[in-house]
Amino acid sequence: MALDDASAEFHDFFERHHAELARLAHLLTGEADTADDLAADAFVALWHRWDRVRGADHPVAYARGVVTNMARARIRALTRERRRIHLFWATLPGRAHHPDVDAVVDVRRALARLPFRKRACVVLRHALDLSEKDTALALGTSVGTVKSQTSKGMAELQRILGAQAAEELSGTRN
C-alpha cells in the first residue's frame, strides 16, 4: 500500500474513532486535558505501528488497548509523584505531620475510586457500551475476567454511590 493510501486510511480511522478514544481516556483518568493528550499520544503510537494496527483482527480494540495502557501508565506516574512529594514534606525538619492537602482536595468521584482494572471494565462495558468480548480484547484479558471485574466494580460503585445512582450509571434502572 502506498504511503498516500496508508495516510488516507489512517486519517479515516482517526476521524471515526478519535472522539471515542478521547472519551475513554477521560473516563479512565478523570482529567479532560490529560485525556486529550493521551488520545493524541495514542494516535501517534498507532500511526507508527499502522501496518500492524490495520492488519489486526480488531483495530479499534487494539487502539482502545493502547489508550488504556497509556492511561494506566499516567495514573501510576501521578501516584509515584504524589508519594515523592509526600515523602519530601514529611521528612523536612521542624514540620508537624499534616495530611497531604492535595490528596484530600483531589478526592475523585466514585468512578475514579475504583482500582484501574475494575474502572476500565466498567467504563468500557457501561460508558462505551462494549460487549464483554470487545472489552476483553481492548484490555488483553479474558471474558471471564471482564465479567468478574465489571461485577465487582459495579458492586463497589453501588456501595460508594448508593444503589439508585449505580443503576443509573449502568443503565439497568427498572
Domain boundary among 107, 139, 163: 107
**Of 24, 58, 47, the residue nearest 137 (C-alpha):** 58
Same domain, 114 and 35: no
Could you tell me the pLDDT band of residue 77, with boundaries at 50, 70 and 90? confident
State the Cα–Cα distance between residues 120 and 17, nearest whole angstrom: 18
Q: Where in the sequence is the domain holding 1, given as residue range(s)?
A: 1-107
pLDDT at 90 over 80: no
State the Cα–Cα distance between residues 81 and 87, nearest whole angstrom: 10
Greater confidence (111 vs 131) lies with: 131
Greater confidence (32 vs 83) lies with: 32
pLDDT digits (tens, 9 = 90+) for 23-47: 999 999 988 888 999 999 999 999 9
**Total number of domains constituting the chain:** 2
pTM: 0.57
Q: How far is CA 61 from the centre of its chain?
A: 13
pLDDT, position 15: 96
pLDDT digits (tens, 9 = 90+) for 96-119: 455 543 322 332 467 788 899 998
Domain boundary among 107, 134, 161: 107
Same domain, 114 and 101: no
**Of 107, 112, 115, the residue nearest 152 (C-alpha):** 115
Q: What is the CATH number of the domain that holds 170?
A: 1.10.10.10
Same domain, 84 and 142: no
Same domain, 56 and 98: yes
> Average pLDDT, whole number, for the chain?
81
Same domain, 115 and 166: yes
Same domain, 80 and 121: no
Same domain, 62 and 126: no
Q: Dihedral sign, CA of 67, 116, 155, 140? A: positive
pLDDT at 162 over 60: yes
